[in-house]
Amino acid sequence: MNVITPIKILGVPVHPYTMNGAVEKIVERVSQKQKTLVVTANAEIIMMGQSDTEYMEILNKAALVLPDGAGTVWAGRKLGYEVPERVAGYDLFLNLMAEAAQKNFNVFFFGAAPGVAEEAKQKCETLYPGISIVGCRNGYFKDADNHSIVEEINNSGADLLFVALGAPKQEKWLAKYEDTLKPSLLMGIGGSFDVVAGKMERAPKWMQDASLEWLFRLYKQPSRFRRMLVLPKFVIKVLRFKSYKAS
């Protein structure tokens, strides 16, 4: 099977898989019931790791960190590594749903506003005939509910757990319960249930291809502006690191 050595981008070990390679690797690990925490790391996530040591540790311990976003691919290439393509969290999620339907993996949806995961479930049942989505739980809960959420997931018999709480909350929740959770795949997927359920639009293909997905998200959700201020900082940090390495 394909083995890929991670590259380091600002301290984060990113595995430069292609989309197909990532899907193949995850399916292989799930088939062998290997616990697999997957993070699709965009520039924002890598920057969160710079100022949050707990999150940086999680990124370093995750089984698979994949290059999501034009920024991560650009940074990897700028630092001299071969990064074949972007592995966007949303696309990976859909590809894994297709695999789950074929391979009879059970799936659990955790996260998003009340009712959204159920709507995403219905949509996926149409898109992926035969898919077995064995449970849904919204992402608005108190600390006191954590135990019952883990139990609900474990009792469902899920093999794949998709968690949509946004970064870094979803990865922190998954890392905290990684050892107790029974599903093999543990993956954070941000706003993906909202997109599948039709609550949020994804950037048109031409904008994705032109690496402008961030601009589309900013246009649709201007409140993201503050969060996006880290992007130029990310570029500067990568360029500084590159010139430091070269000197």
Binding stretches for ligand UDP (CB under 6 A):
111-113, 139-140, 164-167, 169, 190-191, 193-194
Which helix (DSSP H) or strand (DSSP E) does residue 122 occupy? helix 116-127
Smallest distance, ligand UDP to C-beta of residue 114, A? 9
Nearer to ligand UDP, 48 or 238 (CB): 48
Smallest distance, ligand UDP to C-beta of residue 85, A? 19
Nearer to ligand UDP, 162 or 193 (CB): 193
Q: Would you state the structure tokens that stand for residue 241, as one six-digit string?
A: 């690191």
Smallest distance, ligand UDP to C-beta of residue 110, A? 8
**Crossing angle for the helix pair 169-177 and 146-156, nearest 10 degrees?**
70
Nearer to ligand UDP, 113 or 134 (CB): 113
Smallest distance, ligand UDP to C-beta of residue 243, A? 30
Smallest distance, ligand UDP to C-beta of residue 181, A? 17
CA nearest 128: which of 100, 93, 168? 100
Query: Which DSSP string corresponds to 129-192?
Result: TT-EEEEEE-S---GGGHHHHHHHHHHHT-SEEEEES-TTHHHHHHHHHTTT---SEEEE-TTH
Residue 198: left if φ>0, alpha if ψ -120 to 50, beta else—which one?
A: left
Nearer to ligand UDP, 4 or 113 (CB): 113
